[in-house]
């Protein structure tokens, strides 16, 4: 089928690849033998004995093929796929981070679910949205992770805070004040000047009713003013300015903090921490659950010069994302499933996941209809957060400058 060639802008992404991938196979094996399907994924940490690898082997057998799996870290994977597509050596099946889907789709790298005959009707619409572009769907989500507030039950009890009272920004801030008065610390999060900082700010930004098309709105400024007020009052440490999500978690794990904004990927660490930890959905400014950005990957089928393996690739995608395999896979990845019936099974097995299912149902793709323009908005946004929290600019002035930068870039 005809596809547009990779644009200059997309090819530029290829050139930034600098790290060495963790791979078990030759990355240029996309066009390997007719009896073998190639699959690339962003899970180098999951070895051949992992549940994920076993699921791949099971799906290979069910699809009557052999699968050669190659793993790269997320950033390196994107660059290598773009280069492979240009060279005609793309893998038959690609598991890729959801914000990258629009980039690959715009570059003509991916086949659509409609072309392949993949049924996505059972998938949660807000999770599927990250893979939709121009009314077409590119792949199927495996599942999703997102953000919520972990809380230390002992710290809140000592401060006289009933977590059920935390329903909006005002009640959360009141809880932080009580915690500070009790001699403990309030909340930690990541406001680092990278995509992690934007990712962590988005629930507050969206929870205020702000939109990424207008970074300078009063709603946006209210969210940034909230974070700034927490630093000014000592409810959050100045270290958040440089915190990654990992170092933020390490602060919370000291047992000194009441709250930490972090993701489902910390569930295992929470269990090992020795702390009595609960989870609360991030509240919107005036109540309800704030939309948090989704993480997680899509299983996609890249364009091939020879489509003879499409039916087999489709069978593998269907198998990897089917309800019977999703429970095992999502548990291994600490994901909430993209399928409502599997979400119910997850909660039945672990009732504490109910909060995460609630958060995922309220979440949305971080690109938020911006598609490939998202990076040109995200970077000015994290720079604005940095400028405001360091005191270099007021929240309103920092976001006004961010909007001007984003508008000029787009």
pLDDT tens track for 247-264: 999 999 999 999 999 999
Q: In 371-405, which positions are buried (b, 16+ CB within 10 angstroms) versus exposed (e)?
A: bbbbbebbbbbbbbbbbbbeeebebbebbbbbbeb
pLDDT band at 295 (very low <50, low <70, confident <90, very high): confident
Q: How far apart are CA 39 and CA 57, in angstroms?
A: 11
* pLDDT at residue 28, rounded to an integer: 35
Q: Count CA atoms closer than 13 A to 305's CA, side-chain side.
A: 10
* pLDDT at residue 99, rounded to an integer: 87
pLDDT tens track for 271-285: 999 999 999 999 999
Q: How many CB atoms lie within 10 A of CB 211?
A: 13
In the predicted model, is pLDDT for residue 391 greater than 70?
yes
* pLDDT at residue 329, rounded to an integer: 82
| pTM of the shown model | 0.83
Give the mean model confidence (pLDDT) for residues 351-371: 88
Residue (of 172, 196, 156) closest to 75 by Cα position: 196
pLDDT band at 21 (very low <50, low <70, confident <90, very high): very low
In the predicted model, is pLDDT for residue 296 greater than 60?
yes
pLDDT band at 30 (very low <50, low <70, confident <90, very high): very low
**Between residues 9 and 107, the one the model is more confident about:** 107
- Report the chain's mean pLDDT, rounded to a whole number: 89
3-state helix, strand, coil in the chain (%, to 5): 50, 15, 35
In the chain, which residues fall in CATH 3.40.190.10?
Answer: 8-145+295-365, 147-291+374-409
Tokens of residue 322, six digits: 């089917």
* pLDDT at residue 324, rounded to an integer: 84
pLDDT tens track for 38-53: 999 999 989 999 999 9
* pLDDT at residue 121, rounded to an integer: 94
* pLDDT at residue 255, rounded to an integer: 98
Tokens of residue 262, six digits: 């972090």
Q: Which residue has the tokens 């970077």?
A: 379
* pLDDT at residue 328, rounded to an integer: 86
In the predicted model, is pLDDT for residue 3 greater than 70?
no
Lowest mean pLDDT among 70-79, 211-220, 247-256: 70-79
Q: Is residue 262 classed as helix, strand or coil in its secondary structure?
A: strand
Give me the DSSP letters along 177-218: HHHHHTTSEEEE----SSHHHHHHHHHHHHHTT--TT-TTSH
Rg (CA), the chain: 22
Architecture field, domain 8-145+295-365: 3-Layer(aba) Sandwich (3.40)
Cβ atoms of 112 and 138 within 8 Å: the answer is yes
In the predicted model, is pLDDT for residue 54 greater than 80?
yes
β-pairing, 336-337 vs 66-71, is unpaired
pLDDT tens track for 113-159: 999 999 999 999 999 998 998 899 999 999 999 999 999 999 999 99
**Between residues 107 and 17, the one the model is more confident about:** 107
Q: How many CB atoms lie within 10 A of CB 60?
A: 21
pLDDT band at 368 (very low <50, low <70, confident <90, very high): confident
Q: Is residue 146 classed as helix, strand or coil in its secondary structure?
A: coil
In the predicted model, is pLDDT for residue 106 greater than 60?
yes
Cα–Cα distances in Å, from 330 out to 52, 346, 396?
A: 9, 9, 40
In the predicted model, is pLDDT for residue 302 greater than 50?
yes
Tokens of residue 50, six digits: 């992992």
* pLDDT at residue 338, rounded to an integer: 94
* pLDDT at residue 312, rounded to an integer: 96
Q: How many CB atoms lie within 10 A of CB 409?
A: 12
In the predicted model, is pLDDT for residue 291 greater than 50?
yes
Exposed, middle or buried, 18 (CB in 10 Å: 0-12/13-18/19+)?
A: exposed
In the predicted model, is pLDDT for residue 357 greater than 80?
yes
Residue 247 region by backbone torsions, left for phi larger than 0, else alpha for psi between -120 and 50, else beta: alpha
CATH of domain 147-291+374-409: 3.40.190.10
Tokens of residue 379, six digits: 């970077």
């Amino acid at each position: 089928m005809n596809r547009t060639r990779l644009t200059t802008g997309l090819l530029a992404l290829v050139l930034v690849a600098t790290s060495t991938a963790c791979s078990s196979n030759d990355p240029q094996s996309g066009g390997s033998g007719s009896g073998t399907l190639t699959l690339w994924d962003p899970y180098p940490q999951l070895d051949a004995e992992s549940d994920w690898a076993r699921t791949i082997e099971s799906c290979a057998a069910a699809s009557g093929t052999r699968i050669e799996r190659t793993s790269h870290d997320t950033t390196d994977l994107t660059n290598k796929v773009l280069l492979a597509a240009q060279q005609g050596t793309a893998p038959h099946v690609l598991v890729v981070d959801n914000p990258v889907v629009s980039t690959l789709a715009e570059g003509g790298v991916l086949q659509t679910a409609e072309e392949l005959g993949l049924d996505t009707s059972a998938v949660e619409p807000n999770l599927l949205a990250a893979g939709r572009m121009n009314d077409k769907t590119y792949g199927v989500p495996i599942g999703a992770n997102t953000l919520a507030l972990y809380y230390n039950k002992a710290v809140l009890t000592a401060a006289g805070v009933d977590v059920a009272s935390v329903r909006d920004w005002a009640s959360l801030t009141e809880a932080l004040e009580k915690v500070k008065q009790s001699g403990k610390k309030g909340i930690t999060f990541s406001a680092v000047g990278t995509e992690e900082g934007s990712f962590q700010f988005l629930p507050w930004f969206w929870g205020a009713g702000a939109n990424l098309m207008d970074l300078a709105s009063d709603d946006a400024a209210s969210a940034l003013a909230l974070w700034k007020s927490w630093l000014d009052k000592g409810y959050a440490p100045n270290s958040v300015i440089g915190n990654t999500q990992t170092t933020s978690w390490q602060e919370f794990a000291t047992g000194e903090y009441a709250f930490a904004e972090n993701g489902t990927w910390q569930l295992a660490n929470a269990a090992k921490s020795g702390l009595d930890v609960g989870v609360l959905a991030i509240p919107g400014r005036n109540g309800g659950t704030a939309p948090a950005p989704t993480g997680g990957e899509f299983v996609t089928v890249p364009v091939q010069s020879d489509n003879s393996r499409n039916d087999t690739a489709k069978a593998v995608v269907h198998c990897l994302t089917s309800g019977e395999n999703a429970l095992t896979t999502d548990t291994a990845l600490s994901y909430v499933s993209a399928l409502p019936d599997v979400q119910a099974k997850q909660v039945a097995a672990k009732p504490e996941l109910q909060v995460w299912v609630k958060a995922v149902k309220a979440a949305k793709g971080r690109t938020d209809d911006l598609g490939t323009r998202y990076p040109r908005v995200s970077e000015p946004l994290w720079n604005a957060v940095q400028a405001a929290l360091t005191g270099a600019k007021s929240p309103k002035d920092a976001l006004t400058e961010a909007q001007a930068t984003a508008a000029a870039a787009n």
